[in-house]
């Protein structure tokens, strides 16, 4: 077992609509497109001492649109693309289930589909997470509700479904930002990481 002797600050990131442009049931690498500025924002989190962990619902697996192997392939591709920006995602956790639309073994009422917090708990088995210094960033209600329930601060991004949620008067996030770039700026500023914040201009 992994020996957890110190606590780590983590930024949990939703994937689709937060890191990359939301496309329904994305799984092909050729359809993948970063939200502008997202790779640099992730690299900034890396250099600021955060673990970056993706927590993503992949109901497309449950629905039979693509396979878990496709999810793993796309996740690896994201890290491959991030390397060009000297950025990386430390870990990816995904939920392949759906309680109603799922096919076969994937049709279950699981504990890992956001807004449930099973994926965060899975991450906890590997990382010693300091929740007081950790954040969840996403574009969906489930991201914010899960982050809140798990006990970290949350930022809604207006990319993906975020701006629609804002119009619907959803207000359960701690902070709201235009995109991942701004979200990272805001959280570093909140954490008093002023040196990093001053360097912000170069990541636009």
Under the rule (CB under 5 A), what is the footprint of Zn ion?
95, 97, 110, 112-113
Residue 199 designated active-site: no
Q: Which is nearer to Zn ion, 63 or 190 (CB)?
A: 63
Q: Which is nearer to Zn ion, 46 or 75 (CB)?
A: 75
Q: How near is the Cβ of 119 to Zn ion at its closest, in Å?
A: 8
Q: Among residues 16, 90, 139, 143, which one is catalytic? A: 16
Q: Among residues 14, 90, 139, 179, which one is catalytic? A: 14
57: closest CA among 23, 12, 105, 98?
98
Provide the total of helices (H) and of strands (E) in the chain, helices listed first: 8, 6
User: What count of Cα atoms within 13 Å lies in the side-chain half-sphere of residue 69?
Assistant: 0
Residue 31 designated active-site: no
Transcribe 117-176 into DSSP letters. -HHHHHHHHHS-B-GGG-EEEESSHHHHHHHHHHT-EEEEESTTTHHHHHHTT---SSEE
Beta bridge partners of 157: 177
Q: How near is the Cβ of 93 to Zn ion at its closest, in Å?
A: 10
Q: Which is nearer to Zn ion, 27 or 185 (CB)?
A: 27
Q: How near is the Cβ of 158 to Zn ion at its closest, in Å?
A: 27
The set of catalytic residues is 14, 16
């Amino acid at each position: 077992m992994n020996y957890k002797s110190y606590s780590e600050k983590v930024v949990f990131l939703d994937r689709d609509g937060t890191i990359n442009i939301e496309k329904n049931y994305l799984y092909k690498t050729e359809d993948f497109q970063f939200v502008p500025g997202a790779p640099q924002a992730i690299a900034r989190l890396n250099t600021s001492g955060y673990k970056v962990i993706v927590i993503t619902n992949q109901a497309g697996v449950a629905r039979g649109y693509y396979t878990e192997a496709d999810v793993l392939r796309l996740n690896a591709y994201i890290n491959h693309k991030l390397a060009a920006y000297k950025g990386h995602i430390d870990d990816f956790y995904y939920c392949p289930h759906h309680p109603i639309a799922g096919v076969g073994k994937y049709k279950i009422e699981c504990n890992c589909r956001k807004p449930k917090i099973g994926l965060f708990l899975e991450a906890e088995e590997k990382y010693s997470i300091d929740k007081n210094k950790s954040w969840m960033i996403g574009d969906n209600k489930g991201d914010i509700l899960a982050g809140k329930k798990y006990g970290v601060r949350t930022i809604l991004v207006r990319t993906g479904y975020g701006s629609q949620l804002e119009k619907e008067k959803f207000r359960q996030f701690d902070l709201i930002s235009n995109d991942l770039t701004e979200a990272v700026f805001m959280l570093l500023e909140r954490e008093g990481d002023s040196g990093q914040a001053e360097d912000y201009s170069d990541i636009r």
